[in-house]
Chains A and B, each alone.
Chain A
């Protein structure tokens, strides 16, 4: 299936990627080519086949309920582009 520029813009919005008009035109072609190529999967009969949820067949291990981490606020914000008194700072969010 091919995608049009409106679809490119829509998914770019979902993915929080700014696209210029030129980008959108270019991506329209590139993404369509990739998607058309991917669609050869339609040939495969997957009737009754379970989709894979994990490639390793072991049961999930679980942690004990112990506090073993935290109290490292300095490390947590060490790389923050903007921080204030151990908070991360972002442009104002309006609800």
Chain B
């Protein structure tokens, strides 16, 4: 069923509200060692034409043989997208000429993809949950790379990526804003990373999207769409949609019409522009690849993969809400990345989960951000953070000292217990010792003591002095009690 227009998401134009309609084709590289149809490495980078077999270079007489792992990952991803798995699918040739397409065709799946319809649930910041339909997922080959800036009149062709396995995930045109598009891509990326089928590394091109954008007045039929090719970051996807929607609205409101065309996003200018090489309309002449057989497997093959599926973000989020009493927002943040969720669970195990969540989302994420590192390589392990929380809850250190210990942990990687011991940061709860200091400081400051009688809040000054004298190690509760007693307030 088609979504009702949400006026809050509409863009204001001179002729009224405009609804943006977006569909995405995400190309996700399968996390395989070898290519889809050859034994060459699928690893990113490499000297030119070194990750290339005779098959990838389309030498005469070369033939494709499919990589089983890639098939399994497509099924796995399909299951993660709650999609229907097709026990029989067909590889087709998509014919066109381009220097980085050595065969003169791309092996893809056209009429019979390996994965059919599915859906992805996205959570928006305002708490709204939106379901985005998945039309299909199919396997296909990546193309090589043309380098245009090495020579004034020539392009250089490197086939290292030629034949790398991609999963193309096609959404329905269910997305209604740049924000939703960003949330959708983030969610698909998270699902694939949970599944381990794609590393989701957008800088290295492991994930990129073709973005189809059109605009219409709410209630109207779909407008003419433009396809923005190969946008390679979540932020750029958002920018491209915003710019493209505005461009289309301006054209229509100026009395123009939208040409259905392929466009490119220029991240430096934040704009989309028409591709100059558009030539005549494409006619890809798809037909089943006669070098391959239909791809067939039985339900048992699918069931076995289904049985090995990890808990996915949606289920995990619900479990975090149910088991750890986290707010939906906190749970959502923590599960958005498999490693973060794992980290949190390790740190929270057997402890106060809300405290653990606060430490992970506050101090830890802050630290990772400043240091610009991924949680997988966090200088503070989840086990150590858990121990730190234990030290607070059993009264060994105060919450304030804990923040200092955290910083030392970040620098040294040491366990919090040993840091506390070595640096003598253990909290002092010994009443006799604190009583002596309280007495000393109150006696030395009769004027301040007199003030407290009139203005009880002034007791804070004494607390500060005592903490200073004990280098923060005094148990603040004990200090408070003893001070009140000494100043005759209790």
Binding site for B on A (CB under 8 A): 10, 13-14, 16, 53-54, 56, 58-73, 75-77, 82, 84-95
Contacts and interface: CB of A to CB of B under 8 A. Distances in A.
A92 B49 contact: no
Contacts of B34: 63, 65-69
A88 B99 contact: yes
Interface string B45-68: 001111111110100000001111
B147 interface: yes
A54 B294 contact: yes
Interface of B: 32-34, 38-41, 47-55, 57, 65-71, 90, 97-99, 146-148, 150-159, 264, 275-277, 280, 283, 285, 288, 290, 292-296
Nearest to B297: A59
B97 A85 contact: no
A69 B48 contact: no
Contacts of A89: 151, 154-157
A63 B66 contact: yes
B77 to A, nearest CB: 15
Nearest to B292: A60
B148 A62 contact: no
A58 B293 contact: yes
A56 B292 CA distance: 11
A81 B158 CA distance: 15
Given A16-B97, A62-B67, A63-B68, A69 B53 contact: yes
B296 A60 contact: yes
Q: Which of A13, A53, A88 has the most CB of B within 10 A?
A: A88
Contacts of A72: 52-54
B277 A91 contact: no
A95 B264 contact: yes
B99 A90 contact: yes
B364 to A, nearest CB: 35
Given A60-B295, A65-B67, A67-B33, A90 B155 contact: yes
A14 B283 contact: yes
Given A92-B154, A94-B276, A65 B66 contact: no
Contacts of A82: 154
A69 B288 contact: no
Identify the 10 closest CB pairs spanning chains A and B, nearest first: A65-B69, A68-B39, A62-B68, A70-B40, A69-B39, A69-B53, A87-B156, A60-B293, A88-B157, A73-B49
A67 B154 contact: no
A89 B277 CA distance: 19
Contacts of B68: 62-65
Contacts of B98: 93
A31 B285 CA distance: 18
Contacts of B276: 94-95
A75 B53 CA distance: 9
12 contacts: A54-B290, A59-B293, A62-B66, A67-B40, A68-B39, A76-B57, A84-B151, A86-B48, A91-B153, A92-B151, A92-B154, A93-B99
Given A56-B293, A70-B53, A87-B147, 16 more contacts: A53-B293, A54-B294, A60-B295, A66-B34, A86-B47, A86-B48, A87-B156, A88-B49, A88-B157, A89-B157, A91-B155, A92-B152, A92-B153, A92-B155, A93-B146, A95-B277
Contacts of A62: 65-68, 71
Nearest to A56: B293
A75 to B, nearest CB: 7
Contact of B49 (A10, A65, A77): A77
B61 to A, nearest CB: 13
B39 A67 contact: yes
Contacts of B293: 53-54, 56, 58-60
A3 to B, nearest CB: 15
Contacts of B275: 95
Contact of A84 (B71, B156, B277, B296): B156
A7 B97 CA distance: 19
B228 to A, nearest CB: 13
A73 B47 contact: yes
A53 to B, nearest CB: 5
Contacts of A68: 34, 39
B285 A14 contact: yes
Q: Which of A56, A58, A69 has the most CB of B within 10 A?
A: A69
